[in-house]
Amino acid sequence: MKNRGFSFAVIALAVLAAAISLQNTRLGAEKQANIVSAQALEIEKVTFTRTQMENVFDDAVKTVLENEIRSQNLDAQEIKKKTVEKIIWLSEQGLFDSGRIRTEFFIEKQGSKEKISETVLEESSTVLVASEEGITTAWFFFTGGIKQDTQFKATISGPSYSTEFKLPQGYTVSAVVAIG
């Protein structure tokens, strides 16, 4: 009978050890699932910020073009200057930083980072304006400069994930306004 009690105690301890092991495994799996969930949320926020950036820059450039046409300014150089000023202003405002998401805007030229400058952006872009029969169209092109080696970029970073925003060479925004 004593052996039976001893056997029962050994079996009870084995079951208890298995239960504790399963509990630890479950807790580890929950912890891992929480980490993966947090990383997925961070990736979603960073990606959303990039999409938001693309929309804001597109809208801002288009608005500058439309406003200049409406105010009868058809000087391509002047419109380019105002467009570049708006791009720089947007990059300096911290509009896209929130919570743990941070952005850093820069110029990448021949593989090296540079501070954003009006001169470099103006040399890397062009504006065309055409008007006929009361309809005026303006185009802003980011060309990357004569050597096509300049890019306007931003790094969007969370604690463990980052992505990049850029105005690619060939980036184009246009505006059409009827003046009459």
Q: What is the pLDDT of residues 87-107, one digit of tens each?
A: 999 999 988 998 889 999 999
- Could you tell me the pLDDT band of residue 38, with boundaries at 50, 70 and 90? confident
The whole-number pLDDT of residue 99 equals 86
How many Cβ atoms are within 10 Å of 96's Cβ, its own excluded?
19
The whole-number pLDDT of residue 58 equals 96
Residue 6 has pLDDT above 60, yes or no: no
pLDDT in tens, 58-93: 999 999 999 999 999 999 999 999 999 999 999 999
- Could you tell me the pLDDT band of residue 27, with boundaries at 50, 70 and 90? low
- Boundaries of domain holding 26: 2-178
The whole-number pLDDT of residue 40 equals 80
Assigned token pair, 54:
């693309």
Q: What is the pLDDT of the chain when averaged over all its residues? A: 87
pLDDT in tens, 139-166: 999 999 998 999 999 999 999 889 999 9
Per-residue b or e along 106-144, where b marks 16 or more CB atoms closer than 10 Å to that residue's CB: bbbbeeeeeebeeebbbebbebebeeeeeebebbbbbeb
**12 against 90, higher pLDDT:** 90
Distance separating alpha carbons of residues 63 and 20, to the nearest angstrom? 64
| pTM of the complete model | 0.79
The whole-number pLDDT of residue 7 equals 66
Distance separating alpha carbons of residues 131 and 117, to the nearest angstrom? 30
Number of domains in the chain: 1
- Yes or no: say if 65 and 175 are a contact pair by the CB < 8 Å rule: yes
The whole-number pLDDT of residue 41 equals 82
For 157, residues 6+ apart whose C-beta sits below 8 A from its C-beta are: 46, 101, 102, 103, 104
Question: 32 vs 25, 127, 136, 158, CA distance in Å?
Answer: 10, 52, 58, 19
Q: Which residue has the tokens 């593989």?
A: 111
The whole-number pLDDT of residue 22 equals 63
